[in-house]
Structure 1
Amino acid sequence: MSDGSFTVLADALVAQGLATRGTMMGRPCLRANGAYFASGGHVGDALVVKLPEARVREEVAAGRGVPFAPGGTPFRQWLEITDPSAHRARELLFEALEFVAG
């Protein structure tokens, strides 16, 4: 498990009182103000975050993620992070938190 894994990042946000745990489509997830903003991914302990659609496209174009498509159809506002950098994963997680918290 890397420092950028869903489990490590989720534990930190929950401990700080910034998020609560839940499940979404059978996967562990994080919520803020009742809205889902992060989840465990398809492979291992990957991180999936909710971002504005344009930001998802930017990250995909830059090669730092892929559209999250659990049933084969991509979710427009969800990005599965493929950049293994823990720093990058944290940045996107906080961006997702800000996006749903408004």
Structure 2
Amino acid sequence: MATLVLAACGTDAAAPADRDDVGARVFAANCATCHGPDLGGTDRGPPLLHEYYLPDHHPDVVFATAIANGVQAHHWDFGPMPAIGGLSDDEVAAVVAHVRDEQRRAGLME
């Protein structure tokens, strides 16, 4: 699945703003409970606006794999992240793009 997600990111016909709208919506519905509506984290999950989650440490494929398969905690003590089922490859790609856009807006990336 991860390869398909990256391919979808690279060939998505939707405009970036449209993809971000989808990513923001899917993030709000599936990720914000733990990672916060502003990606700043909660008492249930870590902030994604953190240097640990920048592409040089956690590339896009790692985000996509974590969404699809879940992941064991390794930076924080929140416990393992469960897999988020029911999302299409395009929705996963949109969430990853949304996270990257928010990281840019927060000044963590250029």
Q: Which protein shows a greater Rg?
A: 2
Output the TM-score relative to the length of structure 1: 0.33
**Which gives a bigger RCO, structure 1 or 2 (Cα 8 Å, sep 6+)?**
2
Looking at secondary structure, tell me which structure has more helix per residue: 2
Output the TM-score relative to the length of structure 2: 0.32
